[in-house]
Chain A
Amino acid sequence: MLDDFFVRALVAGIGFALVTGPLGAFVVWRRMAYFGDTMAHSALLGVAISLLLNINMMVGVVAAALLVSGALLVLEKRGVFSSDALLGILSHSTLALGLVLVGFMSWVRIDLMALLFGDILAVSKSDIALIYGFGALILVGIAWGWRALIAATVNVELAQAEGMHPQRARIMLMVFLAILIAVAMKIVGILLITALLIIPAAAARRLSASPEQMVVIASIIGVMAVVGGLNLSLLYDTPSGPSIVVAALGLFLLSLTPLAVIWRKNTKAS
């Protein structure tokens, strides 16, 4: 079954969407959208460094993403620039640094377009194994730390005072984001990862009455976007990664219509 490239793409995309639901919900709740974007952009720097040092690409990307988020924390504490400006600086300079470094390495040939926009139609069986393996790890981690994660999102000081270790929750989310970016780079590309974190979660908001509901609905919407987007790209021969994002956008716009209110009323009544 996995011998067909389209089926492989579907399976990989669905696995990715299942993870972006819960993780994306936290990105939206904690207003980390730009932060996630910055981490994703630093992935290109991670790729360049891992090529330069000849280390595993996933390790390089996770390390770069964590390094950048750590640098952000330190710079934020110094409090000279607003975190908004810092994110802008880090986000674009890591992307540029990555591009410059890759340009220097004339001895390697990498498909830059695939890195930036993804090439889901080229995923291999081992890519799928990677997505489902790490995806399961992230989902189990989120489920395990659920109460602390929610408490830390609602109010950091309250969580701290009542022994929920909000700093631990924050680090956990950062590590999971870094891993997801490293795994998902191939699918939708560095530039579009954040879109699939945020749009399905945002679309789920008006359909949900609790955080638990929202992460499940976000996952379902993500899966619908992947299936819809891939079929769209097959039908009209459009680029697959952007097609998935466009499908997600369509679902988000649909969630803004009165349809969402009707849907919620029906689920409440049943």
Chain B
Amino acid sequence: MAKKDLLVSLKNVGVERDGKWLVRGVDFEVRRGEIVTLIGPNGSGKSTSVKCALGVIDPTEGQVNRATDLVVSYVPQKFNLDWTLPLSVKRLMNLTAHHSHADIEEALEQVGIAHLADAEVSHLSGGELQRAQLARAMLRKPDLLVLDEPVQGVDFQGEVALYELIAHMRDHHNCGVLLISHDLHVVMAATDTVICMNGHVCCRGAPKQVAQSAEYQQLFGVRRSEALAIYDHQHDHTHLPDGRVKHADGTICEDCDHSHGAHDHKEHDHA
């Protein structure tokens, strides 16, 4: 099989702000038709890495390569819409490009909020806003869809429904998906690659399908267990509470600089 189109790649990317490295040594890539999920604790540099991939911030070191004429749709985590700006859901659809009335209706229908077309964006609930944002992202027919914690503040059923929509978009438009998730252990089942971050890339791998597990189905219900998957972390170091890093061989360093090679890859977890 031919290698799928490379949409965006980060090579050894680091971002420094006020003398502090927010993130360093980040490598990952997103290809067409692939779903990549970034996970990690707060402040671990997930958003920073994604903003580098988008070109919203320039990395201090390393390289970001984006395919030429890449059409991107971005679903930010927070909207912070000022009440003084009257913006209906319909108008939001045309925010960065113009779409026909029929296309907009179809997109809103697909995400299940056609009845909210004339509602003001600032009056939407968390889940409704995410659906509206997904519809907007979909209308652009993107090569790359980027979502920053799309299911945060969304209830159980909503989370499953949103993940199903994202997977549907990937299948339908054959776009690449880069996703940030707030959950350290449960990720979207359709994810191809999970990247765990904590100031750098801690580990990466594929999630484990759990739909077959009877206990899991009992716990969460069949539909939810089909949309979600478990990710097993494969760490070779521990992040100490004071910010230093303890490697598998017992050495402790100031950061997770992988270049010195003082450790080999064994499993253990975050403290």
A interface with B by C-beta (< 8 Å) = 28-31, 147, 150-151, 153-155, 157-164, 201-202, 205, 208-211, 213-214
* Residues in B whose Cβ lies below 8 Å from that of A147: 94-98
Q: 10 tightest CB-CB pairs across the interface, nearest first?
A: A161-B74, A161-B54, A162-B96, A29-B85, A160-B56, A208-B86, A28-B84, A151-B96, A157-B56, A158-B74
Beyond the given A29-B85, A147-B96, A158-B74, please list 14 additional residue pairs across the A-B interface where CB-CB is below 8 A: A29-B82, A153-B82, A153-B85, A154-B95, A155-B76, A155-B80, A162-B96, A162-B97, A209-B86, A210-B86, A211-B85, A211-B86, A211-B87, A214-B86
Q: Is the CB of B96 within 8 A of A159?
A: yes
Q: DSSP class of B's interface residues: helix, strand, loop or mixed?
A: loop
* Residues in A whose Cβ lies below 8 Å from that of B86: 205, 208-211, 213-214
Q: How far is the CA of A157 from the CA of B54 in the complex (A)?
A: 9
Instruction: For residue B180, give the distance in angstroms from its CB to the closest CB of chain A.
Output: 13
In the complex, whether B156 has a CB less than 8 A from a CB of chain A is no
* Residues in B whose Cβ lies below 8 Å from that of A151: 95-96
Q: Is the CB of B51 within 8 A of A210?
A: no
Instruction: For residue A169, give the distance in angstroms from its CB to the closest CB of chain B.
Output: 12
Instruction: For residue B38, give the distance in angstroms from its CB to the closest CB of chain A.
Output: 16
Q: Is the CB of B85 within 8 A of A154?
A: yes
| Contact A158/B76 with A151-B95, A151-B96, A164-B96 known, Cβ cut-off 8 Å | yes
In the complex, whether B88 has a CB less than 8 A from a CB of chain A is yes
In the complex, whether B250 has a CB less than 8 A from a CB of chain A is no
Q: Is the CB of A157 within 8 A of B88?
A: no
A-B contact count (CB 8 A): 73
In the complex, whether B243 has a CB less than 8 A from a CB of chain A is no
In the complex, whether B252 has a CB less than 8 A from a CB of chain A is no
In the complex, whether B49 has a CB less than 8 A from a CB of chain A is no
Among A147, A155, A164: residue with most chain B CB under 10 A: A155
Q: How far is the CA of A248 from the CA of B54 in the complex (A)?
A: 44
* Residues in B whose Cβ lies below 8 Å from that of A211: 85-87, 91
Among B54, B81, B85: residue with most chain A CB under 10 A: B85
Q: How far is the CA of A209 from the CA of B74 in the complex (A)?
A: 25
| Contact A210/B140 with A154-B79, A160-B56 known, Cβ cut-off 8 Å | no
Closest A residue by C-beta to B18:
A79
Instruction: For residue B237, give the distance in angstroms from its CB to the closest CB of chain A.
Output: 31
* Residues in A whose Cβ lies below 8 Å from that of B146: 161
* Residues in A whose Cβ lies below 8 Å from that of B85: 29, 153-154, 211, 214
Instruction: For residue B30, give the distance in angstroms from its CB to the closest CB of chain A.
Output: 14
Q: How far is the CA of A45 from the CA of B262 in the complex (A)?
A: 62
Among B91, B96, B97: residue with most chain A CB under 10 A: B96
> CB-defined interface of B42-85 with A at 8 Å, one 1/0 digit per residue?
00000000010011100000000000000011101001111011
- 22 A–B contact pairs at CB < 8 A? A29-B85, A30-B82, A147-B94, A147-B98, A153-B85, A154-B87, A157-B56, A158-B74, A158-B76, A158-B96, A159-B96, A160-B54, A161-B55, A162-B73, A162-B140, A201-B84, A205-B84, A208-B86, A209-B86, A210-B88, A211-B85, A214-B85
